[in-house]
Amino acid sequence: MKEQTEVGKLKEGRYVVVDDEPCKIVAIATSKPGKHGAAKSRIDCIGIFDGVKRSIVQPVSAKTYVPVVERKIAQVISIAGTTLQLMDVKDFEMFELTVSEEQVAGLEPGQEIAYISSLGKKKLE
């Protein structure tokens, strides 16, 4: 899910959709309106799921999408290598996530962990 908002209302630390990827805003620079144009805003952000740095430049009055980022709790059902099978504790949805070796090291079946969900993608916090 995503909502629409004006670029001028965005703040650092919030989220924005860039190239169909939810990103966390790192920096915002706004220029003054010129003789023939509107004020522009440059937004630097980092992807939540892929970690890629992106930037966009748009007029302050333009509309952009803001993703709905949810923090949820899941229970670890099983661990197979670097693949975790998880179950959401609220709606009992089952899903699998591939994680790094370091993240698997501290986990065991039955343990509850936090994860982030946005635009159909999921990631451990």
Query: From CA 21, how far away is CA 38, in angstroms rounded?
Result: 27
Residues 50 and 85 in one domain: no
Residues 50 and 86 in one domain: no
One pLDDT digit (tens) per residue for the chain, 125 residues:
889 999 989 999 999 999 999 999 999 999 988 888 889 999 999 999 999 999 999 999 999 999 999 999 999 999 988 899 999 999 999 999 998 888 888 888 999 999 999 999 999 98
Residue-range definition of the domain harbouring residue 118: 70-124
The pLDDT of residue 34 is 80
Residues 82 and 25 in one domain: no
- Which of the 8 DSSP states describes residue 36? S
Cβ pair 60, 52 in contact under 8 A: no
The pLDDT of residue 123 is 92
Per the rule left: phi > 0, alpha: psi between -120 and 50, beta: everything else, 92 is left
| Whole-model pTM over 0.95 | no
Number of folded domains in the chain?
2
The pLDDT of residue 36 is 80
